[in-house]
Structure 1
Amino acid sequence: MIILEFKAKGNKHQYFAIDEAIRTVKFIRNSCLRYWMDNKGVNKFDLNKYSAVLANNFPFANELNSTARQSSAERAWSSIIRFFDNCKKKVPGKKGFPKFQKNCRSVEYKQSGWKLSPDKKSITFSDKKGIGKLKIKGTWDLWRFDKKQIKRVRIVRRADGYYVQFCISVDIKEELEPTGTAVGLDVGLKEFYTDSTGNTEPNPRFYRTGEKRLKFYQRRVSRKKKGSSNRKKAINRLGRHHLKISRQREEHAKRMARCVVRSNDLVAYEDLRVKNLAKNHCLAKSINDAGWYQFRKWMEHFGTKFGKVTVAVNPAYTSQNCSNCGEVVKKSLSTRTHTCKCGCELDRDVPSEPLREHNAAINILKRALSTVGHTGTWVVKNLNASGDPTSTLPGSGLVEQVRSLSEESPRL
């Protein structure tokens, strides 16, 4: 399953109709959630039926396509079922009780209510909202896919315009030649990651770089009168810059993940709870700017696509344990050098010598190999036989040109 995204081009009346459809989606979703709160034992099918009741009672809801109303009800049910799953799993802290949506940015159609043009360069929405025909611009060719493969179509509103997304059911697996190598990764704030062979990738710090410009746009917003058109323009400009930074971070994580997965047969990384780590107010901004979750998400996606093994290991004591003898050497965050009684001296994040392996990354790789059993043993034998350390750097020649995030996504 992949998602292809195209920029939508229309006029002001069409954009107003899209906004009206998005507001209707929010109304149906919140109404279904209220219906669930007031009636015990309501299930997914009851919410779908209630969306039809809303269409009969409210003319503006009836103008929206029936499949789009069902998708809105499914959004409410997804938040409900996520709350129940968190309760069953006994997730610590808040369980995420469903809340009424304040800001909605998309409307989703299933396999009706829209029609592609023969040249696949425009799409027409046939419901009574009046969206009509929209031109779509992008680098992907939709003619390669049959219409039956398109399961859902979504219109998304962002700060820089409107986009049309196509959810296409297609096999994304690719066969690659085995490399006979394995690698362990330790993410950090000073360096984006350090692998078990000593290679490091610098942290780009996109938010830190653009923070000065963000403050400038934020000051412009605060100076404008509330409710004025100038304030709306200033807010849009601020949102566009935030969107640019988020896209840069996502693209960087995608490019790095693709490179690492294609270069190795097994990739080991820490099973970090980024949400809990970000509760540290001294490091929250830097942790969120690093994009560790996006990096892990794309590694798991490319691992499935290319048939490679990705293992998330317990991060406990990976920096404290000595990778040579296994002795626990306790150190604080300010201590950057690992020194053990056995004579092993390693930099905690960055190798002190080009050929010296990183302590935590080696521990992560060892734990992963002990987890995967025979697969890990096979990888180690091939690694020792070849004698050449694998490269995870972008310039290793194993990275293909990666297009934008909108062209390939692991989920809808």
Structure 2
Amino acid sequence: MSTDFVIAVHSHILQVATTDLDKAFQAFFRRAKAGESLGYPRFKGRKRFDSFGLKEYGNGFKIADKCLKLSGVGNLKVRWHREVEGQIKTVRIKRNAGKWFAAFACEVEPKSLPYSGEAIGVDVGLSKLLTLSNGESVGNPRNYKNAQARLRVLQRSVARKKKGGANRRKAVGLLQAHHVHVANQRSDFIKKIIFNLVSRFDVIAIEDLQVSNMAQHPTLAKGILDAGWGYFRSHLSFKAEEAGKTVVAVDPSYTSKTCCRCGQRIENLDLSVRWINCDCGASLDRDHNAAINILRRAGHARLGPTWGIGPVRA
């Protein structure tokens, strides 16, 4: 196979591609050592690449007159999402659903948010995306579930088109664009929730869930992926560190089944049972109960004399 085409490619693009390959193999060996599903890195021909990177500002790329100048390409008009802050270090150019995006990595001064002195426990779920230890909850928008009817129409449209034809490429583009739209809805919703949390609380306690393993559950997988548990966990940690706040991950065992008032474990508590009624008199939503236990396991039990937990309901 001829590799003459690489002569025209900037050396940093080739170096970044090699670094990406190295990361893929490191992840493969880490999964193999941990006994997880392996996913051996597949070979990618040049037509399968949807992104490339440049690692030194001024050497291969730079910004001039609100345009992005790329080596070998020239000046590109850019619809800027926001002003670039700090010192630009690298850029990653990515194609997604027929559109091109530029993601800049910049060195910026940390901007810590004001401290509140407050801590919160957070329980993630499917009926409600989040339940907080103070009793607040956030509904689950179910973006993918609500978009399934439209996605099925677009998938049938792709299936009816002749392979290799222009109409099929157009139909595939429409399908990809709708998937991107759903993903953007999910990420935007979660980012707004995270900003609210890191703005209000200094310590955020969550369960140390193995989301990748849970996402293989035959009945819960689609709901977990639609809810974006993994994205919430990773982005929360990133944004909390950026804001000078702390995320504590605790053991998730029996947080829902352990009474937050007396510590009694309620056995045989089916998932369909959404309310906890304990012999000690505590009566509350099981997700609220779990969130309080999560906060306690993180070492923050400042709940006050009253927890909003009513008596056992008749």
TM-score norm. by structure 2 comes to 0.90
In 1, the alpha carbon distance for the partners of 2:202 and 2:62 equals 42
In 1, the alpha carbon distance for the partners of 2:104 and 2:93 equals 9
Partner of 2:18: 73
Contact 2:88–2:104, Cα closer than 8 Å, also in 1: yes
Cα-to-partner distance string for 1:268-323 (whole Å, 9 max, x where unaligned): 01111111112122121111100111111221122111211210111110011111
Structure number with greater CO (CA < 8 Å, separation at least 6) is: 1
Q: Cα offset for 1:209?
A: 1.1
Cα-to-partner distance string for 1:315-373 (whole Å, 9 max, x where unaligned): 11001111111111021112222122212222223xxxxxxxx211111000011xxxx
User: Counterpart of 2:61 in structure 1: which amino acid?
Assistant: W
Instruction: Supply the RMSD in Å over aligned alpha carbons.
Output: 2.2
SS at 1:101 equivalent = coil
Partner of 1:211: 148
Contact 1:256–1:295, Cα closer than 8 Å, also in 2: no
1:227 is aligned to 2:157? no
1:305 to 231, 242, 263: 242
Q: Where do 1:8-407 residues align within 5 Å?
A: 58-87=3-32, 90-101=33-44, 103-111=48-56, 112-117=59-64, 119=65, 121-127=66-72, 131-142=73-84, 145=86, 149-171=87-109, 173-330=110-267, 331-349=269-287, 358-369=288-299, 376=300, 380=302, 384=304
Q: Cα offset for 1:96?
A: 4.1
User: Counterpart of 2:205 in structure 1: which amino acid?
Assistant: A
SS at 2:75 equivalent = strand
Q: Cα offset for 1:241?
A: 0.2
The runs of 5 or more residues in structure 1 that have no matched partner are 1-26, 28-56, 350-357, 370-375, 390-412
Q: Cα offset for 1:137?
A: 1.5
**Structure 1, 60-69 or 337-346: larger mean CA deviation:** 337-346
User: Counterpart of 1:309 in structure 2: which amino acid?
Assistant: T
SS at 1:137 equivalent = coil
Distance change in 2, residues 1:343/1:141 (3 Å): closer
Q: Cα offset for 1:384?
A: 4.5
In 1, the alpha carbon distance for the partners of 2:62 and 2:235 equals 32
Distance change in 2, residues 1:291/1:231 (3 Å): same
Contact 1:178–1:265, Cα closer than 8 Å, also in 2: yes
Distance change in 2, residues 1:199/1:241 (3 Å): same
Cα-to-partner distance string for 1:53-88 (whole Å, 9 max, x where unaligned): xxxx7321111001111111111111122233344x
Partner of 2:312: none
User: Counterpart of 2:44 in structure 1: which amino acid?
Assistant: Q
User: Counterpart of 1:335 in structure 2: which amino acid?
Assistant: V
Contact 1:258–1:298, Cα closer than 8 Å, also in 2: no
Contact 2:119–2:202, Cα closer than 8 Å, also in 1: yes
Contact 1:214–1:241, Cα closer than 8 Å, also in 2: yes
TM-score norm. by structure 1 comes to 0.69
In 1, the alpha carbon distance for the partners of 2:69 and 2:202 equals 45
Q: How many residues align?
A: 303
Distance change in 2, residues 1:184/1:238 (3 Å): same
User: Counterpart of 2:77 in structure 1: which amino acid?
Assistant: K
State the identity as a percent.
Answer: 38
